[in-house]
Amino acid sequence: MFKHPIFALYGMLLLGAASLASYRGFTFSDVDTVRGVPKSIRDNPGAYRAIYSSYHRYSGGK
Amino acid sequence: MVRTLECPNCGGTVQLKYERTLNAVCIQCLSVLDATTPALQILQKFQGAQRYEPRIPLGSRGKLATGEYEAIGFQMRSIEVDGVTYSWAEYLLYNPYRGYRYLTEYNGHWNDIRTLRAIPTVAKSMSKEALMHRGAKYTHFQTATAATAFVMGEFPWQVRVGETVEVKDYVAPPSTLSSETTAGEVVWSIGQYTPAAAVWTAFGLPGAPPPAVGIYANQPSPFKGRVATTWALFGLFSLVLILAMFLLAIAMPGQRVFDRKYSFAPGTGEPSFVTPIFRFEGGDRNVDVTINTDLRNDWAYLSLALINDDTGVAYDAGKEIGYYFGTDSDGQWSEGSRGTTVTIPGVPAGTYYLRVEPEMEKDGRYHGMNYEIVVERGKPEYIWLFLAWFALLIPPTITSIRAFSFENRRWAESDYGPLVKSSSGDDDD
């Protein structure tokens, strides 16, 4: 480790950052945040305008 | 005692400093003279094309590791390989108590050389010829015929311009073993690669030494030992990564906060619904919403919104699931998956529910599915540890490539270099 101080530092920083990211659960997610959703949605779920509704999707198979 | 004599060829002054000198070279006309005859018989008149100036002036003294030596002779020698002439300088050094040794210089690379009394033994080798000397294995590097192109100073042997010897070099960086074979005589010598700066310091030479060009046969690799130690360090970091993975798995098993089964068939009323409320405790954590279905040759699309009942903040995502299978001429096939997971990062504690809106094909045929929604919170994202492992591979890989490249460049100049192989291949054609 002492023969390669730069690699040692690089490795320790990398391990620390990766462990923290794993612990905190950092992720690249395709989730959007919407604010101010009214409480009435619980009684009328169809009134919620989902961002991803009417998504054009693949259908088929081999 | 210094003897001052007159050159019989040019009349110049010739000084003989050493009793053991057999041949001396007149500094003015470069005639090789017989120092054992009182009248300095001319053995050879200079007929060379070029006069060389030694970088270490003859007569100067230098402190080497083994004592103080005086430069008493200088010669240029050369070999010819594939029509290209390679020349190097040899300085004969003398210490009255320690005898002779040599300094050689080629393209700024210096070697401190002494003759060997012991004869090296042949070593077992799978590929290249090799020798053993004092426990070290020396690998054959080059065999060539060396010719003396220029001489100056005093020599304790018969020296002539144009004289040739067969030279075989074996290397174990930073050492080199060389044999010089003439009719009936083999002289072995061992050399140590010496930094030019050390030569300059030893002889007090002015200025800076010319920079070394290329990689020399026995030049020590700056990567020697580094490849093994960088991989060892990589191994150590890999162990730490595995340990971190275990610790995270133990410390953060994940909390399953919701798990319920549902059914869906399009056209049977309002598809969207909300789940019962569930609660997240603690700080900000990832939430994994997993959907497992029993789809068969069909697809479904689920709009998902994780909604905080207290703040009205919703995390909105959509996921398509499709699973197809069958049999054709290639046999059984399948495509897609029956399940999927949406990861929502950094969800704070609070009271939540899911709003779910499934969709499926509406083409008049029956489509439907049973599915399960599982909400888990606080599971570690192991992907970062895997990415870190790949990033840790970079330094040892680069070191290995550079070490390999260094050795490739070293051996490119040997009898085993790529140019040698290609030229022998051409001959075969």
Quote the pLDDT of residue B423.
43
Question: Any idea what DSSP says for residue B106?
Answer: E
Length of chain A: 62
- Using one digit for the tens of pLDDT, what is the confidence trace for B277-287? 999 988 888 89
What was the ipTM of the complex prediction?
Answer: 0.75
pLDDT band at B244 (very low <50, low <70, confident <90, very high): very high
Please say if the pLDDT value at position B378 is more than 90. no
Residue window 19-58, chain A: list those with CB within 8 Å of chain B: 19, 21-27, 29-39, 41-42, 45-46, 48, 50-53, 55, 57-58
On whether any CB of chain A is under 8 Å from the CB of B366, the answer is: no
pTM: 0.73
Span A23-52, mean pLDDT? 80
Span B268-276, mean pLDDT? 90
Please say if the pLDDT value at position B255 is more than 60. yes
CA B12 to the chain's CA centroid: 54
Give the separation between CA B103 and CA B219, rounded to whole angstroms: 15
- Unique residue bearing structure tokens 């990033």: B391
- Using one digit for the tens of pLDDT, what is the confidence trace for B310-355? 999 999 998 999 999 999 998 999 999 999 999 988 899 999 999 9
On whether any CB of chain B is under 8 Å from the CB of A61, the answer is: yes
Quote the pLDDT of residue A24.
79
- Unique residue bearing structure tokens 């905080």: B308
Least confident of B16-25, B167-176, B334-343: B16-25
How is residue B4 written in tokens?
């001052």
- What are the C-alpha distances in Å from B107 to residues B86, B293, B380? 10, 73, 58
- What are the C-alpha distances in Å from B148 to residues A59, B217, B312? 83, 21, 93
Query: Which has more confidence, B109 or B128?
Result: B109
**Closest-CA residue in chain B for A31?**
B317
Residue window 223-262, chain B: list those with CB within 8 Å of chain A: 225-226, 229-230, 233-234, 236-237, 240-241, 244, 248, 252
On whether any CB of chain B is under 8 Å from the CB of A16, the answer is: no
pLDDT band at B1 (very low <50, low <70, confident <90, very high): low
Q: Exposed (0-12), middle (13-18) or buried (19+): which is A56, by Cβ within 10 Å?
A: exposed
Task: Look at residue B175 and give its three-state secondary structure.
Answer: strand
Query: Which has more confidence, A42 or B110?
Result: B110
Please say if the pLDDT value at position B54 is more than 90. yes
Spatial strand order in the sheet of B285-293: B255-264, B369-377, B285-293, B339-347
Quote the pLDDT of residue B370.
96
Query: Which has more confidence, B364 or B420?
Result: B364
On whether any CB of chain A is under 8 Å from the CB of B392, the answer is: yes
Please say if the pLDDT value at position B203 is more than 70. yes
Please say if the pLDDT value at position B213 is more than 90. yes
Query: Which has more confidence, B101 or B42?
Result: B101
How does the average pLDDT of chain A come out, rounded?
78
Q: Exposed (0-12), middle (13-18) or buried (19+): which is B116, by Cβ within 10 Å?
A: middle
Quote the pLDDT of residue B355.
94
Span B226-237, mean pLDDT? 94
Q: Which residues pair with B44 in a beta bridge?
A: B32
Rounded-to-10 torsion of CA B102, B104, B110, B111: -50
pLDDT band at B84 (very low <50, low <70, confident <90, very high): confident
Quote the pLDDT of residue B427.
42
Interface probe for B, chosen from A1, A3, A24, A49 (most Cβ of B below 10 Å), is A24
Contact indicator for B244, B315 with CB cutoff of 8 Å: no
Please say if the pLDDT value at position B112 is more than 50. yes
Please say if the pLDDT value at position A59 is more than 60. no
Quote the pLDDT of residue B422.
44
Element (H, E) at B221: none
Residues of B within 8 A of A19 (CB-CB) are 244, 248, 384-385
- Using one digit for the tens of pLDDT, what is the confidence trace for B147-162? 998 998 888 888 888 8
Span B209-216, mean pLDDT? 94
Quote the pLDDT of residue A51.
63
% pLDDT > 90, chain B: 62
Interface probe for B, chosen from A4, A13, A35, A43 (most Cβ of B below 10 Å), is A4
How does the average pLDDT of chain B come out, rounded?
89
Phi, psi dihedral angles at B176 (to 5 degrees)? -140, 140
Quote the pLDDT of residue B205.
95
Residue type, B217: A
Give the separation between CA B275 and CA B259, rounded to whole angstroms: 10
On whether any CB of chain B is under 8 Å from the CB of A9, the answer is: no
Query: Which has more confidence, B47 or B73?
Result: B73
How is residue B31 written in tokens?
């005639």
Element (H, E) at B237: helix B226-251
Span B268-285, mean pLDDT? 90
